[in-house]
Amino acid sequence: MRYILVDSADREQFYPFTLTRSLADCRVGIFTFKERWEQYLKEEAGILTAKYLQVLYKYEEIFQSDQALCFINVTCIPSDELILQINGLKEGEKLVSESGKWVATCTKERALSKILLAEYPPIDFPGARFVEDAIHILHLHTQFINRDFDWVKVNRKSIPLDASNRVINPEQVFVEEGASILCSNLNASEGPIYIGKEAVVMEGVSIRGPFVLGQKGVVKMNTSIYGSTSIGPNCLAGGEIKNSIMMGYSNKGHEGYMGDSILGFWCNLGAGTCNSNIKNTAGKIQMWNESKQIWDTVGQKMGMLVGDYSRFAIQSSINTGSYIGVSANIFGNGLLPKNIPNFTWGVLPGYQFDKVIEDINNWKKLKGFSITEPEKLVLKHLHNITS
């Protein structure tokens, strides 16, 4: 293992998603950040993240090896030119952007503070571009879908679509082996449509690209989906969805609207749940910034950011620009609060840890999984600091 993806310097900008996993494990488009980097690097990469999260990842190879490794800022957007620059680094050299933001270091050091330093003057890479924060992921969503779709088309072959479907611009539709799509409307005139392995698109679904449906994902009958939208692996999608990301194993299986939003892993939206993505005044939206502990102005359109394992009761009304923490069990009358912290029960703190683990495990069993010991350790750490 020669390459290590590092999120520690910027991970707070991607809360709530990086509270429970490295940014490298977050999914936007067809692939996670790690998978996309590995396609450029052409080999497996390790992950260096916050100490309490490192239990989720192999780390012995990183800390026990005495060889020089390439540590890479995972928020940097990979390109062929950037890979050439990274592979050209000598031991002790560091690559930075034109503005001085850290990109990569080749070093035998293992402490983050030393990785970010260099023995020699830094090398500038003016073409470096970064994903800045969680909301920026939505802004770059179309770009990632287009890039990932092009990579898949070069490396794999699509299976033919069933004749029962109505398709516009079929050359921009890619279907993996084992997927089922029947009696649906697929419009790829404004962006590609990708359907993953063993995924199911039921009858009457209407999709406008750019769109991604991950492996074993399901889109239920008569669902309406607008680009840019990514439905991750093992997700269930229904109702109306626009410009949103479901990272994986989450459900929005019933009628209701979700727009300009990101759901983490293992989330659930009850039947009839809707989120607002624009104020009645069409004015600027204020959203809670967990890392800065302030309310930020985030533009004119923004839905919600929902951390892993959080769930909404039926008919939940989610406010414009809502920040939802990790493992919140949410229910309440009227518009819900715009800032719902980790381990909320209803709209108040107090979700007990044993109950948290029991409920998460119940949800995982529905999809044939169970909670792991490393995941419990991560949640215990977060629950302790929340309490």
Residues 140 and 86 in one domain: no
Residues 141 and 159 in one domain: yes
CA–CA dist 385, 387 (Å, integer): 5
Domain boundary among 112, 131, 150: 131
- Give the number of domains in the chain: 3
Q: Is the pTM of this model over 0.85?
A: yes
Residues 298 and 169 in one domain: no
List the CATH number of the domain containing 338. Answer: 2.160.10.10
φ and ψ at 210, to 5 degrees? -70, 140
Domain boundary among 219, 248, 277: 248
Domain extent at residue 34:
3-131
Residue ranges of alpha helices (H) inside 97-240 are 112-115, 134-139, 141-155
- The pLDDT value recorded for residue 310 is 98
Q: Quick one: pLDDT band at residue 60, thresholds 50, 70, 90?
A: low
CB 36 within 8 A of CB 148: yes
Residues 75 and 155 in one domain: no
Average confidence (pLDDT) over 88-93? 93
Residues 200 and 271 in one domain: no
Q: Which two tokens stand for residue 97?
A: 């952007």
CB 124 within 8 A of CB 96: yes
297 pLDDT more than 80: yes
Residues 166 and 240 in one domain: yes
pLDDT in tens, 125-146: 999 999 999 999 999 999 999 9
H or E segment to which residue 107 belongs = strand 102-107
For the chain, the average pLDDT equals: 95
Domain boundary among 248, 275, 304: 248
- The pLDDT value recorded for residue 111 is 84
Residues 221 and 264 in one domain: no
Would you give the end-to-end CA distance of the chain in angstroms?
Answer: 38
Residues 208 and 154 in one domain: yes
Residues 272 and 381 in one domain: yes
Q: Which is more confidently placed, 257 or 118?
A: 257
Closest by CA position to 263, among listed 213, 344, 323 = 323
pLDDT in tens, 333-356: 999 999 999 999 999 999 999 999
- The pLDDT value recorded for residue 62 is 65
Closest by CA position to 238, among listed 262, 208, 273, 264 = 273
Amino acid at site 381: H
pLDDT in tens, 191-246: 999 999 999 999 999 999 999 999 999 999 999 999 899 999 999 999 999 999 99
Q: Which two tokens stand for residue 44?
A: 């497996």
Residues 178 and 230 in one domain: yes
Buried/exposed 213-249: b ≥16 CB within 10 Å, e otherwise:
bbbbbbbbeebbbbbbbbbbbbbbbbbbbbbbbbbbb
CA angle 326, 375, 30 (to 5 degrees): 75
SS3 assignment, position 13: helix
Average confidence (pLDDT) over 100-121? 87
Residues 277 and 351 in one domain: yes
Residues 363 and 244 in one domain: no
Q: Quick one: pLDDT band at residue 7, thresholds 50, 70, 90?
A: very high
List the CATH number of the domain containing 84. Answer: 3.90.550
List the CATH number of the domain containing 199. Answer: 2.160.10
Beta strand 193-195 with 27-28: parallel, antiparallel or unpaired? unpaired
1 pLDDT more than 90: no
